[in-house]
Chains A and B, each alone.
Chain A
């Protein structure tokens, strides 16, 4: 089954609504700070609390960030966009309405390109991206019998990025989500912290018979805040819908929640129970005017975008599209990789393999970020240089890497003190081969009578004899001649 196939002739259709918290210092309509983790309600002023008589004042930084995102995805920036009120009652919504953009969003009509693991690429349309304020949250833990309200998050600026229903599998949805995640961090408009809720999404999921033109009835899975959950939740939901339809049932249009403990989605509210939000333009705010001067100022502040960087990595370093995608997934990773390549200009591929392989695994194991400083790019480059100049083999290099990682010592020092320098002296290798042949006459005879498989046995024995230091290419060459 390829990534694009659903079971038994069904096709999955997915659209995502991503909420990215904008990295402004203050809230979207008030001067309160947006720092995460403050004591409850310590970052809620009278505007955030919805006091009588207070009024919202738009934070210009949030507008510039939304424009930045729009420009990065090739979207249209509205000259005038309008804030509307989304009316509903909830204790964590102090005003009884959320200020959002409805009919006239600030960004409309862009696209995001994704590359899947199997190398296929795809363009996902972005219908719109609009500015809105976040709500607060209700607290239950440690408050028996009552509900607490924390309005620190109320009024935090969000950009909601709404995709077209262009994705056809959970893997595509994850790839899209990751790409947007990459993009917002490149643009420095969102810290991308999913645990803290800075980046989360709702997934609209439906299935239809392959070949059918009409979309099936969709369910919306709310508030997914990890890439793993998104994939699992969508896969669960797809299976649920197909089961339902195949057993003659109907999918209800509804909002569902994903329970990560049980690994299932369950109904939250049906379409009938859905709120009538009574949207109307917020009379307290003027239309958001974005003029050409602002657009060109923001445009000139755009960094090299992930797609541009990936294309450059492909053409300059000869990387595959997928590798280039992985290495450009964050600005930090890309610049680390480029720092390695700068010291090792002839081995970009080797550098790519090590950064994505050993280094990524080691970081991952310790939960460290690429910019943690644990292994500066220059030090990794010096290790790779020793592979390139055949001082050590790739296999030995892994050993050296491990010691560099744990001790913090330099590659050369480790190679020197541990005597790991590769044997490239033909005479020495030949001598070792001859000794192995002398010790293993039986295997030698078998090999010579046609048991080719035993070649590996001899390689292993010689490597063992040389402490793994024999240059593998030379060893192969010499062994072939000697064994003949």
Chain B
């Protein structure tokens, strides 16, 4: 059942929130040994919250999400519950406060079941960099679920939770959503508060949601989004009712096909599924036109300068002094720093810290960081130009379906190329959605829809109409049905 259906069921007293929450908690527990989708499960607080929600529901009180279960990616700070970021560094870290997103969903009535697994500090595209071990893809447990929000995507795909929060810095919502056959929304940069989201790359990070349907994503995003005085980069414009516009007809919608996305790196069958989806849109009255963003191929190199640069600085606070991992018996300050960080961080995080430190160093700053920022502006300008001609851009979310655990861990560049279609939206701060659009050899693939700034409503609308016409999003991996 979808979140929307569950909400109706709760209001109709078909079942109680306690029953609902207990059911999902039991599923999480049952499948955790296989999927490893969760880092922490908060059974008792969840049941207590469900009980309170039931009292609200009995009085017809509460918010739009009252009594509905949700899972938080483990980089959203949750008061009293540990927030690990998938890292040994924060294995012992219990946040003293709630992230704005967590607080907003709480006040909308959602019941948090626990914290989902993720690539360490959100650095990864396969969920293999987690200190807590890899998450497995519910469609084939030998495969990766994608990353970094792999736990959130796998949990939703295996119906361990109807929806999950997630974050997207270079594709970390859309890519795992595609590889797990679920719907993921990465909002416009500034639409959702970053306060309480442990930072990876501050100018790219954006919180969003993974759910089974566009409608469910709209329900959750409507509660998550909005200006936050605690986040100077959040934008002070009203949040539209994403749910109210879901059913607007798509006749006349101008769709741009990103020429650069249908390149030689794109798997043939994956491409075929995406083209089939585009034909559905044509049938609905949308028009297609090819659009070229000439600077888009530079997005991966630009991203792998900007993101590590910001990460090298953002992760400097993990020094073993105030919280997090501290090495045993430090001899002196330097020893404390070196061993605490050396032991606390995994290989991929270290690689990015080193890359970032290098590109910001005296003498290299102009050649790397500054140039990458210029490329970023060019890419943003490319997008802006395209959106003068089309309403949305469509293409594949990923070049291939899910790959095997371990297949790309030896070669970071191949791994980085997995985000080739998603990074552009982050560099330009644009919203993007991934919706399931079919299968290749039994593995789901995603259609990516990117829109102008603050066009979340239009993207969710386009995704929802497509989901009215297709049933890919209703498929559940056999083992978890």
Contact = CB atoms under 8 A, between A and B. Distances in A.
Interface of A: 46, 49-58, 85, 87, 89, 91, 94-97, 147, 149, 276, 278-280, 283-286
B232 A285 contact: yes
Interface string B334-362: 00010000000000000000000100111
Instruction: Identify the 8 closest CB pairs spanning chains A and B, nearest first.
Output: A96-B316, A278-B360, A283-B203, A283-B202, A53-B196, A52-B198, A50-B317, A53-B77
B337 A286 contact: no
B231 interface: yes
Nearest to B334: A89
A56 B231 CA distance: 7
B316 A54 contact: no
Given A51-B97, A284-B202, 7 more contacts: A52-B83, A52-B318, A56-B232, A87-B313, A149-B322, A278-B312, A280-B365
A91 B321 contact: yes
Contacts of A285: 232-233
19 contacts: A51-B95, A51-B97, A51-B322, A53-B83, A53-B195, A57-B232, A87-B313, A87-B316, A91-B319, A94-B322, A96-B313, A276-B361, A278-B362, A279-B360, A280-B313, A283-B310, A284-B202, A285-B232, A285-B233
B93 interface: yes
B124 to A, nearest CB: 18
A285 B322 CA distance: 24
Contacts of A278: 312-313, 357, 360-362, 365
Interface in B298-344: 309-310, 312-313, 315-319, 321-323, 333, 337
B110 to A, nearest CB: 19
B261 interface: no
Contacts of B83: 52-53
A286 B316 contact: no
Contact of B196 (A54, A57, A91, A280): A54
Nearest to B203: A283
A57 B228 CA distance: 11
B96 interface: yes
Given A54-B195, A280-B360, A95 B316 contact: yes
Interface string B17-43: 000000000000000000000000000
A58 B233 CA distance: 11
B421 interface: no
Contacts of B317: 50, 52, 94-96
Given A52-B317, A97-B313, A97-B316, A284 B233 contact: yes
B232 A286 contact: yes
Contacts of A284: 199, 202, 232-233
Most buried by B among A55, A56, A58, A95: A55
A96 B317 CA distance: 5
Contacts of A54: 195-196
Contacts of A280: 309-310, 313, 360, 365, 369
A244 to B, nearest CB: 28
A46 B99 contact: no
Contacts of B195: 53-55
Contacts of B369: 280
B90 interface: yes
A248 B195 CA distance: 58
B49 interface: no
Interface of B: 75-77, 83, 85, 90, 93, 95-97, 99, 194-199, 201-203, 229-233, 309-310, 312-313, 315-319, 321-323, 333, 337, 357, 360-362, 365, 369
Nearest to A52: B198
Contacts of A96: 313, 315-317, 319
Nearest to A96: B316
Contact of A46 (B76, B97, B199, B315): B97
Contacts of A283: 201-203, 233, 310
A284 B75 CA distance: 17
A85 B369 CA distance: 14
A49 B232 CA distance: 19
A97 B315 CA distance: 10
Nearest to A149: B321
A9 B26 CA distance: 88
B90 A52 contact: yes
B317 to A, nearest CB: 4
A279 B317 CA distance: 16
A50 B313 contact: no
B313 A53 contact: no
Contacts of A58: 232
A286 B75 CA distance: 24
Nearest to A276: B362
A55 B322 contact: no
Contacts of A87: 312-313, 316, 360
B197 A89 contact: no
Contacts of B77: 52-53
Most buried by B among A53, A57, A95, A279: A53
A46 B337 CA distance: 21
A53 B316 contact: no
Most buried by B among A51, A52, A286: A52
Contacts of A89: 316, 319, 337
B305 to A, nearest CB: 11
A279 B313 CA distance: 10
B316 A51 contact: no
A280 B312 CA distance: 11
Nearest to A30: B230
Contacts of B310: 280, 283
B196 A286 contact: no
B96 A50 contact: no
Contacts of A57: 229-232
Contacts of B230: 55, 57
B365 A52 contact: no
Given A280-B313, A284-B233, A53 B365 contact: no
Nearest to B363: A276
Contact of A53 (B99, B203, B312, B322): B99
B197 A53 contact: yes
B16 to A, nearest CB: 33
B392 to A, nearest CB: 27
Contact of A51 (B96, B229, B337, B365): B96
B323 A51 contact: yes
B309 A53 contact: no
A52 B76 CA distance: 10
Nearest to A90: B333
Contacts of B196: 53-54
A278 B358 CA distance: 9
Most buried by A among B90, B201, B229, B322: B322
Contacts of B313: 85, 87, 96-97, 278, 280
A110 to B, nearest CB: 28
Nearest to A47: B230
A54 B195 CA distance: 6
Contacts of A94: 317, 321-322
B101 to A, nearest CB: 10
A53 B231 CA distance: 10
Contacts of B337: 89
Most buried by B among A49, A51, A56: A51
